[in-house]
Amino acid sequence: MNTPMNVATRPLGSRRDTQRLLAPEHRGHQGPVDDLPALSLDALKALAEESGLTGRGGAGFPTAIKLRAVAEARRAPVVVGNAMEGEPLSDKDAVLLNRAPQLVVDGLLVVSHALRAKRTILAVGPGIGTEAVQAAADRRRERTLVEIARLQGGFVAGQESALVNQLEGRRAVPRDPLVRVTTRGVDGRPTLVLNAETLAQLALAARHGSAWYRSSGTHDDPGTSLFTVSGAVSRPGVVEAARGTRLGDVLAPAGPLDPVAVLVGGYHGAWVPAAALDTRLTHADLRRYGATVGAGVLHVLGSGRCPLRAAAEIAGYLADESAGQCGPCINGLPRMADSLRRLADRRPDPRLPAEIDHLRRLVIGRGACAHPDGTARMVASTMHVFANHVAAHLAGWCPTDERGPR
Amino acid sequence: MSRIHIDWTRCDGHGACAELLPELLTSDEWGFPVSRTGERDPQVPRQLTEHARHAERSCPLMALRRV
């Protein structure tokens, strides 16, 4: 798979007061063994509600709502841990599975027990080691069997319904969202898909309670998150930080090198300009940039790189990663990427911004999954945050070049 | 009041729906339906119920449903 940017897997640690998932006591095979609480369904629902836990896979959906949807169904559900990590800029699930595997397994077991699940599956994407998590699952074998499924990757392969499809032996493409996987998923059963980090957070919340969980982060954005820092930094890797920490402080351990902007939330995310590095990483604070914490991807754009070129490469990658099912995505994304590339190439065509805007609006909401919407979000943010670059490119020059190579 | 839902994984842009329901749908340059109201699943006003039914039956891929 050809991706525009790469990340090196390495935990950069975290400040002592925010060490939870990456705390030394959860390391590898020394993870906690005996103190796994067996919560009732009501207790788990209350915990998810009171802790305010939200999904760490990208969409940030409240875990309590998903849990309730599956609990209301009549049939015994299937519980799936999602460690597909299809986002090329994200490495936190790989780090988590290697560094704190017992937390991921225990989160699965707590949920499966409360829901009396029929099957408990951990879906792992390519390139992610399963040795540690298999050992962690083996240690709990007498409580619940966790099936570890090694699956094929791709940007959309981790999308819930695409994941369910692949687990059932079908192609890893999203389903029409009219019937959600919480209603009909794996084996036709209601299926609860939770990201690996969400499960690890839940395992800690189950042990220590919702008040403890809320003692980090902000009122509206409680807890910590894992962040994968990449791009123009001297030490790319994974950092744990409390929600609400300033963007610049989360980047600091990675050593940013003359940043111009940060792509927050990954390829489907949005840019926060370097002038706003004091922005707090909460949904409320990021909203003005059209960004969300998402899966915690922070990609630093250095001053030596043309932002329009970077965005065009990402858009081209996303167009290639379309599942190829939905017409607007198949037709619209390559055209949008091509228009952005022509802008990056400094074609003096004054119609380009309007064309990009038209294509962006055209694809939104017209697909089985959020891939077109996410691509449109990144492109809209590029045109807005780098408006000066757009104007310069249309006039035939690039501000990055004028500064000279780094 | 019902809504019309397009299953994009099935739709191939035959265009029958946009012809039968021009009040709610138009076509993009590739022939795929576009909601005129901007709603993801546009609402069907009562007076268009029959037309919506017709559009649902006329889609060769059964990609359009009233929900």
What domains are defined for chain B?
A: 4-66 (3.30.70.20)
Q: pTM, whole model, 2 decimals?
A: 0.93
- pLDDT tens track for A206-223: 999 999 999 999 999 999
CB-CB: which of A176, A331, A365 is closest to B7? A176
Decide if B28 and A362 are in contact by the 8 Å CB cutoff.
Answer: yes
Decide if A362 and B34 are in contact by the 8 Å CB cutoff.
Answer: yes
Longest dimension (CA), chain A: 68
Alpha carbon separation from A40 to A43, A108, A111 (Å, rounded) = 5, 14, 9
With bands split at pLDDT 50, 70 and 90, how would you rate the model's confidence at A11? low
Q: Does residue A329 carry a pLDDT above 50?
A: yes
Identify the weakest region by mean pLDDT among A15-19, A260-264, A282-286, B46-50: A15-19
Nearest to A21 by CA among A122, A82, A96: A96
| Smallest CA–CA distance from B29 into chain A, residue | A331
Q: Does domain A307-403 have CATH number 1.20.1440.230?
A: yes
Q: What is the mean pLDDT of residues B11-31?
A: 96
A144 contacts chain B (CB < 8 A): no
Nearest to A330 by CA among A273, A393, A372, A267: A372
Q: Note the pLDDT of residue A143.
A: 87
Decide if A175 and B13 are in contact by the 8 Å CB cutoff.
Answer: no
Specify the CATH number for A21-214; select among 1.10.630.10, 1.20.1290.10, 3.40.50.11540, 3.30.390.10. Answer: 3.40.50.11540
Decide if B32 and A328 are in contact by the 8 Å CB cutoff.
Answer: yes
Domain borders along chain A are 21-214, 224-302, 307-403
With bands split at pLDDT 50, 70 and 90, how would you rate the model's confidence at A5? very low
**DSSP string across A135-191:** HHHHHTTTT-PPEEEE----TTTTSHHHHHHHHTTS-S-PPPTTS-TTTS-GGGS-E
Q: Enumerate the residues of chain A whose CB falls inside 8 A of the CB of residue B35.
A: 365
Q: Return the structure tokens found at A406.
A: 């780094």
Q: Enumerate the residues of chain A whose CB falls inside 8 A of the CB of residue B40.
A: 365
Decide if B8 and A331 are in contact by the 8 Å CB cutoff.
Answer: no
A366 contacts chain B (CB < 8 A): yes
Specify the CATH number for A224-302; select among 3.10.20.600, 2.40.10.10, 3.40.50.2300, 2.60.40.10. Answer: 3.10.20.600
| Smallest CA–CA distance from A331 into chain B, residue | B30
Best A156, A361, A366 member to test B by mutation, with max B CBs in 10 Å, is A366
